[in-house]
Chains A and B, each alone.
Chain A
Amino acid sequence: MTFDDIKELLVAKFGADAIIGEERAGMQPALLIAPDSIVDVCRELRDNPKTYFDFMSSLSGVDYGVDACRFGVVYHLASIPYRLQLTLKISVEHDRNIQKLPTFKSVSTVYRTADWHEREAYDLLGIYFEGHPDLRRILLPDDWEGYPLRKDYKNAEYYKGIKID
C-alpha cells in the first residue's frame, strides 16, 4: 500500500473532516489528522487487514515555536506484516497559557507503548492527554515547575530553595 492508498482508505472511512491534509515536502510524507479523530484513525490503521499498523515507533510532542502558537503531536507508526511506515500529525493552536494546557486524546488504549511516550510529552512539553490512565511526570520530579522543552522555557534558577548552578 502506498501513502495515497492509505489516505484514500482513511478518507473513505472517516470523511474529509477527519483527514484534513497532507505534507509532502520532505522524504517522508505525513497525514494531518483532525485532533478529535486520532484515536479512531489509529485503531482503524491498526486493525484494518490492509494496513496492520501494529507498531508505534515513536510519539513526539512538538512546540512549533513562540510565534506559531501551535502545539502538535507526531505519531510514527510501522506495520510489521507489510513493512510500511506512516507519519500522522495532529496540532492545535494554543496561546501558551500555562493554566490551560493544549489537550489531545490519548492513544494509549490503542498502543500501550503510547503510555510512557505521552507521559514524556506531558512532562517535557506540557501537552495534556485526555483519557490517559496515569498522566504523571516521568523524567522530571513530580514537583517540577514548567515544561523544559517548550521554546519559551526559562531555565529554573532555584529548585526548592536550592540554587541551580
Chain B
Amino acid sequence: MIRIAAVGDIHMGPDTRGVLRPAFETLPECADLLLLAGDLTRHGTVEEARVVADEIRGLGVPVVAVLGNHDHHDDRPDEVTAVLRDAGAHVLEGEAAVVRAGDARVGVAGTKGFGGGFVGASAGEFGEPVMKEFVRLSRRCADGLRTSLERLEEEGCDVRVALTHYSPVPETLAGEPLEIYPFLGSYLLAEAIDTAGADLAVHGHAHAGTEHGMTTGGVKVRNVAQPVIGRAFHVYHLPVRERVSAGSGTEASTA
C-alpha cells in the first residue's frame, strides 16, 4: 500500500510562515510522499516561494509539486520553481518524477493544466489570437501530462498518479458556480489521464468544489484544495498491484 499525502491552494505568504510546518512534520508517520497541487503562494513572488520552501525543506518524505495560476501571477514561475527545487521538491510541468515508497516505485506525472471547460461546454481553438492561445495552452499541458504518464508506464512504475492544479473533471467542481467551470479545468486533462492510464488523479484550484470525483475512464479524482479538505493535507492509501523486489527508502529521481 502506498500512502499519498496531498494538498493544494495553501496560498502562503510571510503572514503564514510556519503555519503548516507542525502538521507537515507528522508526514513521515502517515505518508510515503507529499503532493502539492499548485497555488502554493499568493502572488507567485520569490519571497512567498521562500516561505513555502522553508515549510517543506527536510520533511523526511519526497515532495512533488506543480505550480498553480497564483504561482504565475508575478511572472516568475521559473524563479519560484528554482526556489522550491532548492528546498528538495520535484516541481513538474509536463514532466514526471519517480519516488520510492518502501519497495514500490511511485510515478507522478504533473502539469499545472489550464481551463477550457468540459465536454458539451468547452472552448474551441477559434477566433481571436488570445482565444486560440488559451485553448492551445490547455492542449499543451494535457499533452505533457499524457506523455509523462506513458513514460512512467514504460518505466514500470507500480503506481502512477496524475498531479494537476486545474481540474480534469467537472464532478469535483460541484459547489462552484457553473458559469466559471471553463476557468477551473479542462476535459483534455481527463482525456490524457484516461488515454495513458493512472491510478489516481489529484488537483486543486476549486476552493468551493468537492473532494471526490472520477474520470469517464474510471480513474479516481481528488480535489485537495485546502479549503475543500479542511486540513493541512489529506492522506490516500493506494493499493499496489505488482510489487518490485529492488530497493527501499525514499530515494527519488526525476524522469
Pair from one complex: no
